[in-house]
Amino acid sequence: MICIASFFALVAACDKVPLLAPTGSTINLIVSTTSASLHSEVTIVATVIENGQAVGGSGGAVGARAGVGTPVQNGTLITFTTTIGTIEPAEARTHNGQVTVKLITGSTSGTATITAYSGGASTTNNTLKVGTAAAKTVSVTTTPQSLGVSGGTAQVIATVTDEGGSGVGGVPVTFSTDKGSVSPSTVTTDNSGAATATLTTTAQAKVTAAVGALTGSATVTVNARSLTSFSAGESSATVGTLITFTVVPAGSNVSNVRVEFGDGDSRNLGVITTSTTVPHAYNSPGNYTATASVEGEPGFTASVIVGTLPVTLTSSANPSAAVDTPVTFTATLGSSTSTPPRVDHYTWTFDDGTAPVSTSAGSYVKVFNSRGLKNIRVDVFGVGGGKLGTATLVISVQ
């Protein structure tokens, strides 16, 4: 009875010892691809042959079963290791001399060294490039390829492919541009190897996508504006003074040109073929921004500071005049420019009870019928109806 019990114990113990490849066996590794995306799966087949001969080239990349020898016994245990990712399962038992496992690449890029061993037999494969290491080319496309004159946004797609032209997924792509901005600046490729970002620019921009040391680029153009410049002849002036604005077209035949002076007045220039001047006078003091534009395009601006028109009032009988004697009053206009202000009329007001009088000229003759101090005021009005300036004077009538 003791012998029988010992026999069965020995059999049970032997059953727990793994079956390994016998001495002289050869393990051949077949990796289904030479490149893989991050966070992907790669199929690996190991063939184990007794007294076999390895078939294949450098790195242990074996593509066929050995021509001699026989498959190892079913159930032979093969153990796998890898320097990148994980092997699932890490141990597998043969059937007809083969086992199939999967490499899960994970988030690390590089060249994976895969090892399979059983007993005294082992082999290594280092042909599988993962992630960034698998990338061969980076191509960049944009939609649209051209933006309007004011710029805008374009979709940027960077496609990362391996040596065979297949997309490499899960790798980070860094975007940059020489004009404007790209958002987001770093994007991970999808399963097809594409990473998408958005370019925002107001000028022609070159967009570059980088994966490690690999780069690709594309250019987004911005349509040329119809106008080259717009300027004011003077940056400061007084009310009523003509200011000459200059519009310069980019081409020889620019249509729909419109100038807005910032005071509610505007002018349509129609078609211009060369540099064109536009005169304008402001009827009220203030800071004005004039704009020249073509329909559908952003305009060019020019700023002008307009001050009150200096007015001086003098009389022919200064400082006193006689009753019932004509007195001539003269309004003299001053200006910060050599261009005379555009005056529509002068309004004269006296405090002797008479009604105000308007004249087109800057002088007026008045006869006073009573003695005393007399207050005189002149208001100067521009062509547009705005008051350009005012002056007062006091004389004594005796």
Q: What is residue 100's predicted lDDT score, i.e. its pLDDT?
A: 97
Are 119 and 36 part of one and the same domain?
yes
Give yes or no for a contact between 379 and 342, defined as CB atoms under 8 angstroms apart: no
Residue 350's nearest CA partner among 327, 383, 318 is: 327
Q: Which of 307, 324, 348 is where one domain is finished?
A: 307
Q: Count of domains in the chain? A: 4
Cβ-based burial of 7 (10 A; exposed 0-12, middle 13-18, buried ≥19): exposed
Give, in order, the Cα–Cα distances in Å from 203 to each of 147, 222, 246. 9, 6, 25
- CATH code of the domain containing 322: 2.60.40.10
Can you give the pLDDT of all 398 residues of the chain as single tens digits? 444 444 444 444 445 689 999 999 999 999 999 999 999 999 999 999 997 554 444 444 444 344 468 999 999 999 999 999 999 999 999 999 999 999 999 999 999 999 999 999 999 999 999 999 999 999 999 999 999 888 899 999 999 999 999 999 999 999 999 999 999 999 999 999 999 999 999 999 999 999 999 999 999 999 888 899 999 998 888 887 889 999 999 877 888 899 999 999 999 998 999 999 999 988 888 999 999 999 888 889 999 998 877 889 999 887 788 999 999 999 988 765 556 677 889 999 999 889 999 999 999 999 999 999 999 999 988 777 778 888 999 999 98
Are 159 and 60 part of one and the same domain?
no
Range of the domain at 290: 227-307
Looking at this protein, which amino acid is placed at residue 129?
K
Are 30 and 126 part of one and the same domain?
yes
Q: Which of 173, 206, 222 is where one domain is finished?
A: 222
CA distance 160 to 268: 52
Give yes or no for a contact between 21 and 120, defined as CB atoms under 8 angstroms apart: yes
Are 289 and 315 part of one and the same domain?
no
Are 51 and 124 part of one and the same domain?
yes
Q: What is residue 148's predicted lDDT score, i.e. its pLDDT?
A: 85
> Is residue 207, in this structure, part of any structural domain at all?
yes
Cα–chain center distance at 384: 45
Q: Which of 307, 336, 364 is where one domain is finished?
A: 307
Give yes or no for a contact between 85 and 105, defined as CB atoms under 8 angstroms apart: yes
Are 44 and 145 part of one and the same domain?
no
